[in-house]
Amino acid sequence: MDGKGQRRTISGKIEWELPFIFFLYVKIEIIMKAIGFKENFPIENEQSLQDIEIDMPKASGKDLLVEVKAISVNPVDYKIRQRAKPEEGKWKVIGWDAAGIVKEVGEDVSLFKPGDEVWYAGDLTRQGSNAEFQLVDERIVGKKPQNFSFDEAAALPLTTLTAWELLFDRMQVERDDPDKSILVIGAAGGVGSILVQLAKKLTKLTVIGTASRDITKSWLQGLGVDHVVNHKNKLSEEFTKHNLSEPDYVISLTATGQHIDEVIKLIKPQGRFGFIDDPDALNVMPFKRKSVSTHIELMFTRSLFQTDDMIEQHHILNQAAKLIDKGVIKTTVGDHFGKINAENLRRAHALLESHKAKGKIVLEGF
C-alpha cells in the first residue's frame, strides 16, 4: 500500500483504491439471501414466493442474530402467506422453525454467546426464518440437541412447543394415571408426530391416534401409538370396532369442525378437549352436559404479548433437547426438500396445502 491509498500487485500494477475496497466489503456484509413475497398469490404462481436479497439485520437488546442453517415448514406458513399483506413496497419474509448458529448478540443477552448452536420457532410479529440470517429474542430460543443435525432439529421447535404447551400448560394432563387415555385427531401431522411421543414418553396415558392412509398408520405405529383409528369413518364407530373406552382427553389438530359432533359423543364426562386449528365456527355448548373443559393453544401467544413467562419456551426447548439427546424423542422429519430457495419452498407449501404430508418438511442451506 503506498501513501496515496493505492495497492499494487507484485508486477507493480495499481489494482484498487482503498475507498472502493471498503465499499465492496460493506455491501457484502449487509445483504443476505431470503425468500419473500409482496402479494398474496396462490402457491402455483411463481410470485407467491420469490428469491430476493434484503438487508441483514443487526442484533440489539435481547436479540440474537442467527445464521439459519435449516428450516421446516408448518401450516402457519401457508396461512400467513395467503392472508398477510406486506407493508407497501416491502418484502414479507415468513418462516417459523429454524436451527442455526448464533453470530451476534444484543447488549442485554445473557443466555447465549456467538458460536452457540440453537433452535427456535420465532415470532409472528417479526421477519421469519426464510432468510440467511434472522433476529430472534433469546427467551424463545433453546440450545440445539447435540445428537441432531441442523435439519433434524429444525423439524421440531414449533411443533414441540405447541404439543408441550397444549398437553401440560393448557390441558394439564395427568402424567401418572395409567387408567386414562387420550385421542389425538390428525396425529400423523407435524404437531401430532411429536405430541404422541411426548404423551407416550412423559405420561402413562393410553395414546390413540387417527390416520386414514397405510403410510400414516405405519408412521404412527413407529412412533409408539397404542391404537390407530381411521378418521375418515365415524370416530364413535371406530372406537366400538376396536373395543376402546371413551377417552379422558381429546386433542384435535385438524378439521376440528368436521369431527366436533363425534368428539362430543365420545369424550368422557368431565374430560378435557383441546384444539389448535381454526374452525369457522365452534359451538362449545354441547359440551356443557358432560362438563367438558375446552382449551385452545397458540404457540405464539407468549411472544405476541411478551408475557411474563415468555422464557418458558426457552426452558421447554432445552428440556426437549435433553430428551432427544437421551434418545427418548425421535425427529419428525417426513421429507427433505433440499436447499432453502423459492422453488423448494413453493413445493413444500403445496404439499402442506394438500393435507397429505406426514411428519415435517425440512430444507437446508442456501
The answer to whether residues 211 and 322 belong to one domain is no
**Residue 257 domain-assigned?**
yes
**Which phi and psi (to 5°) does residue 58 adopt?**
-125, 140
**Whole-number Å distance between alpha carbons of 86 and 66:** 23
The answer to whether residues 172 and 144 belong to one domain is no
The answer to whether residues 80 and 125 belong to one domain is yes
**Which phi and psi (to 5°) does residue 174 adopt?**
-80, 130
The predicted-structure confidence for 313-364, as pLDDT tens digits, reads as follows 999 999 999 999 999 998 899 999 999 999 999 999 999 999 888 889 999 9
Going from the C-alpha of 220 to that of each of 160, 216, 243, the distances in angstroms are: 16, 6, 19
CATH number at residue 213: 3.40.50.720
Of 38, 36, 29, the C-alpha closest to 65 is 29
Calculate the CA 143 to chain-centre distance. Answer: 16
**Residue 21 domain-assigned?**
no
**Residue 147 domain-assigned?**
yes
pLDDT at 21 over 70: no
The answer to whether residues 222 and 141 belong to one domain is no
The answer to whether residues 119 and 84 belong to one domain is yes
3-state secondary structure of 102: strand
The predicted-structure confidence for 300-326, as pLDDT tens digits, reads as follows 999 999 999 999 999 999 999 999 999
Task: Give the end of a domain, one of 252, 274, 296.
Answer: 296
Calculate the CA 333 to chain-centre distance. Answer: 12
Which band of pLDDT confidence, cut at 50, 70 and 90, is reported for residue 89? Answer: confident
Calculate the CA 237 to chain-centre distance. Answer: 33
The answer to whether residues 245 and 165 belong to one domain is yes
Residue with cell 369413518: 233
pLDDT at 139 over 70: yes
**Residue 264 domain-assigned?**
yes
Q: Regarding beta strands 133-137 and 63-73, do their DSSP bridges make them parallel or antiparallel, or are they unpaired?
A: antiparallel
The answer to whether residues 255 and 352 belong to one domain is no
Task: Give the end of a domain, one of 246, 275, 296.
Answer: 296
- Average pLDDT of every residue of the chain: 92
The predicted-structure confidence for 36-83, as pLDDT tens digits, reads as follows 999 999 999 999 999 999 999 999 999 999 999 999 999 999 999 999
**Whole-number Å distance between alpha carbons of 260 and 9:** 76
Which band of pLDDT confidence, cut at 50, 70 and 90, is reported for residue 257? Answer: very high
**Which phi and psi (to 5°) does residue 206 adopt?**
-80, 125
Q: Could you list the residue range(s) of the whole structural domain that residue 250 is in?
A: 160-296
Strand ranges (E), 213-285: 227-229, 249-252, 272-275
The answer to whether residues 358 and 283 belong to one domain is no
3-state secondary structure of 216: helix
| Total domains in the fold of the chain | 2
Q: Which amino acid type is present at position 192?
A: G
Q: Which amino acid type is present at position 83?
A: R
The answer to whether residues 135 and 186 belong to one domain is no
